[in-house]
Amino acid sequence: MRAFLLLLVAFDALAADRPPPEKLIAEMLPRLDSAAGCPASKSLWCLAKPMWEKGTASDLPAAGVVPGITIGLEQKKPDKELLETPVDFSAFAVKGGKGLITDVPPESAAEKRTLATAVGAVAKALKQGGPLTLPPALARYLASLPAGATHPLSRTAAEWRMSGKAEAWIRRGPAGGWIVVEIPGEGPPGIFVSIYHNDWIEPSRR
């Protein structure tokens, strides 16, 4: 019993160390904006703050997936170190009112090179607009992801929300594309910021 009570105290202390999600988002997005040198910079991350502030809970498709990129921002890091975190290729999939947000980890050196190229292609398409072309094998893999969408999506006046391994806030930018902010329940306090392309890939029919 004593060990159980100590564990509860530890969990309470960890929870107390975490700021409310809305407060954390309000702090970290301006810090990302500053770290990226916005508005003078051409960094993709200069899209994040305005997309969030002007984003809406636009309609989601019945099923589909959009590719994007994700960066983790740890609250306790100084601003100058925020962008030192690696950027990951990721995907946001939906089907039947449920969602899935996942990274795409490489399983070989060749896949690592493919994903690095895909990160660059996504960033370019998001900054310049226009269509996004992905390697066929990667596009086929992405098309399989809606089948794994299992986390219920709920719509609010401002955004969509989804609970999974992290709490996710989802908004569509005013000029297209989607921004997702995730608040993990474990690890150091911080957020994950993802920006996704506007064009949905239809799910695999296999």
- Write down the pLDDT at residue 178: 97
Residue 99's nearest CA partner among 52, 169, 155, 146 is: 146
φ, ψ dihedrals at 46, nearest 5°: -70, -15
Give the C-alpha separation, 104 to 70, whole Å: 11
> In this structure, are strands 190-196 and 151-155 parallel, antiparallel, or unpaired?
unpaired
pLDDT the model gives residue 189? 94
CA dihedral 57, 95, 137, 119 (to 10 degrees): 20
3-state secondary structure of 73: strand
Query: What pLDDT shows up at residue 206?
Result: 53
Instruction: Extract the residue ranges of the chain whose pLDDT is less than 50.
Output: 1-15
Structure token pair of residue 102? 């996942």
Q: What are the structure tokens assigned to 70, written together?
A: 């994700």
- With tokens 């370019």, the residue in question is 124
Q: What pTM did the predictor assign?
A: 0.88
**CA-based nearest residue to 44, from 133, 124, 141:** 124
Q: What's the confidence (pLDDT) of residue 204? A: 80
DSSP 158-172: S-EEEESSEEEEEEE
pLDDT tens figures, 102-121: 998 888 898 899 999 999 99
Instruction: Determine the pLDDT at residue 158.
Output: 94
